[in-house]
């Protein structure tokens, strides 16, 4: 009798344990939905502040990447805003720290929200914190508001302060569309929009099927954290899912920052925490050297005309400096005018386009608007015959360097060549 009772008790405990495990680790739905990234509003841009030029044994301090408004003025939050959906900065405060205005028809997206102020105007929020610009910040890069007690600039880090599963972080991957989730080994994470039972490509009977995507495994005792949920696989292992979409890494991503898996199978998408703005007529591809680069909508290589400047890392190499935004803004559209535009065609922007993310709009003297990326006006080359051609890359013209004005406070580059380079993210 005792044996029967003991066995029954063990069976009951086993059943309770099974049910508990199913509650903690739900089985994924047969058909997952594509994970949706938080959409950064149009008119939000990026800048680096508090940068120092001094070199040290540890290298150069590159400053803090922050979000800025359309005029590239630093955006702030305050510790005084303690109630979600409510701004405490009114009256004289709102004259010093101007609410970051949202259009009347603005829609929330992910952790970007919209609140209505007491005067009826709309204001953007990020992670429930109302956003502001400081009236005394007159120039790009000013951060005077940070010296005011309880006010802080906003880092361009999508999940800053937000709990994530152990080891998972976000990193900026512009070519992948924004800020992506990365696993503890630094590998890009992908979300799968298909049936988890068919997460391998179809292959011949008896063949071993492997498309290079491996499940992002979760600990057996992992529990739901935010929008991350552990799910059960047929082999008994646990796998992380984000917004119900199973997560994977790709074996072909050989280097930190690679996201080559996005070009392999349309069912796998880089899992983004935040999606950046991108013009409709520009996309990101991978060139013959395996590097991410910009193309137009037809896949033709996009170029910028730069001015030679002393740099460490070579011309457009992986890890090298692909351009200095301030220099690109200084040059504007002056490096290609008249007959030049018949060979190197400006990538057009709509007349009502706004600066957003790394994109800005330049007006041409002959009329029309042109996209600029990271400060540089961009073009396509008529000499390229097919997608993938990059025949104008590192095309130098020494004679034109002397006709341009000297770069302010930089005698090393006062006389230099112009050259065309493909545009890297």
At 394-425, the pLDDT tens digits run 888 776 655 666 655 554 444 467 889 999 88
Q: How far apart are CA 302 and CA 420, in angstroms?
A: 10
Asked whether 77 and 152 are in contact (CB, 8 A), the reply is: yes
What phi, psi does 356 have (nearest 5°)?
-150, 135
- 352 pLDDT exceeds 60? yes
What average pLDDT score do residues 124-143 get?
95
Q: pLDDT for 385-396, tens place per residue?
A: 999 999 998 888
Residue 7: which pLDDT band, with cuts at 50, 70 and 90? very low
Q: How many CB atoms lie within 10 A of CB 348?
A: 14
Q: What is the pTM of this model?
A: 0.80
Q: How far apart are CA 134 and CA 147, in angstroms?
A: 11
Q: Where are the domains of the chain?
A: 45-153, 169-275, 282-422
Helices marked H in 277-380: 325-331, 340-343
Q: How far apart are CA 425 and CA 415, in angstroms?
A: 27
Q: What size, in residues, is the chain?
A: 425
Q: How far apart are CA 122 and CA 142, in angstroms?
A: 25
Q: Tokens 């594509």 correspond to what residue? A: 34
Q: Tokens 């130098």 correspond to what residue? A: 396
Which two three-digit tokens encode residue 323?
């351009």
- The mean pLDDT value of the chain amounts to 83
- 180 pLDDT exceeds 80? yes
Least-confidence region, from 74-78, 134-138, 211-215, 227-231? 211-215
Asked whether 183 and 256 are in contact (CB, 8 A), the reply is: no
What average pLDDT score do residues 214-218 get?
95
Asked whether 67 and 154 are in contact (CB, 8 A), the reply is: yes
Q: How far apart are CA 308 and CA 416, in angstroms?
A: 6
Which two three-digit tokens encode residue 258?
């690679």
Closest CA to 210 of 221, 219, 199: 199
Supply the DSSP string of 100-158, one letter for each residue: -B--TT---BTTEEEEE-TTS-EEEEETTEE-EEETT--STT--GGGGSTTEEE-BS-T
Asked whether 230 and 28 are in contact (CB, 8 A), the reply is: no
- 188 pLDDT exceeds 90? yes
Looking at the DSSP assignment, which residues form a beta bridge with residue 303?
379, 422
* % of the chain with per-residue pLDDT over 70: 79
- 125 pLDDT exceeds 90? yes
Looking at the DSSP assignment, which residues form a beta bridge with residue 188?
182
- 265 pLDDT exceeds 50? yes
Which two three-digit tokens encode residue 295?
């193309």
Distances (CA, A) of 73 to 68, 114, 320: 5, 20, 27
Asked whether 43 and 355 are in contact (CB, 8 A), the reply is: yes
What average pLDDT score do residues 91-108 get?
95
Which two three-digit tokens encode residue 356?
């957003």
Residue 199: which pLDDT band, with cuts at 50, 70 and 90? confident
CB hemisphere CA count around 381 (13 angstroms): 23
Q: pLDDT for 295-336, tens place per residue?
A: 999 999 999 998 876 554 455 555 555 677 878 888 899 999
Higher pLDDT, 10 or 52: 52
Is residue 23 classed as helix, strand or coil in its secondary structure? helix
Residues with Cβ within 8 Å of residue 210, at least 6 apart in sequence: 200
């Amino acid at each position: 009798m005792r044996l029967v009772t003991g066995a029954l008790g063990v069976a009951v405990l086993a059943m309770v344990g099974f049910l508990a495990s199913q509650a903690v680790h739900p089985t994924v739905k047969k058909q997952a939905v594509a994970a949706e990234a938080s959409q950064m509003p149009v008119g939000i841009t990026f800048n680096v502040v508090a940068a120092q030029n001094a070199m040290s044994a540890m290298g150069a301090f590159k400053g803090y990447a922050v979000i800025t408004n359309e005029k590239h003025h630093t955006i702030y939050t305050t510790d005084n805003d303690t109630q979600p959906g409510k701004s405490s900065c009114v009256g004289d405060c709102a004259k010093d720290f101007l609410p970051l205005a949202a259009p009347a028809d603005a829609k929330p997206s992910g952790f970007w929200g919209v609140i209505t102020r007491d005067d009826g105007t709309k204001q953007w929020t990020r992670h429930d914190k109302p956003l502001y610009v400081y009236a005394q910040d007159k120039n790009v890069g000013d951060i005077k508001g940070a010296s005011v007690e309880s006010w802080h600039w906003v880092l361009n880090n999508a999940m800053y302060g937000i709990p994530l599963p152990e080891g998972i972080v976000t990193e900026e991957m512009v070519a992948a569309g924004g800020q992506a989730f990365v696993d503890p080994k630094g590998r890009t994470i992908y979300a799968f929009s298909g049936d988890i039972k068919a997460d391998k490509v179809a292959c011949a009977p008896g063949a071993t099927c492997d498309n290079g995507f491996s499940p992002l495994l979760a600990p057996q005792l992992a529990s739901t954290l935010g929008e991350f949920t552990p799910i059960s696989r047929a082999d008994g292992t646990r796998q992380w899912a984000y917004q119900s979409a199973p997560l994977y890494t790709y074996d072909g991503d050989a280097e930190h920052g690679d996201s080559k898996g996005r070009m392999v199978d349309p069912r796998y998408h880089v899992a983004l925490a935040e999606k950046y703005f991108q013009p409709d007529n520009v996309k990101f591809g991978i060139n013959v050297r395996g590097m991410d680069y910009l193309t137009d909508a037809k896949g033709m290589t996009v170029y910028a005309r730069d001015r030679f400047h002393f740099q460490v890392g070579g011309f457009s190499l992986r890890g090298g400096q692909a351009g200095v935004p301030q220099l690109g803004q200084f040059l504007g559209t002056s490096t290609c005018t008249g007959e030049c535009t018949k060979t190197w065609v400006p990538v057009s922007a709509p007349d009502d386009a706004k600066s957003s993310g790394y994109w800005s709009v330049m007006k041409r003297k002959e009329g029309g608007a042109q996209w600029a990326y990271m400060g540089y006006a961009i073009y396509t080359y008529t000499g390229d015959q097919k997608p993938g051609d990059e025949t104008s890359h590192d095309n130098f013209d020494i004679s034109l360097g002397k006709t341009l004005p000297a770069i302010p406070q930089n005698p090393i580059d006062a006389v230099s060549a112009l050259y065309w380079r493909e545009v890297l993210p």
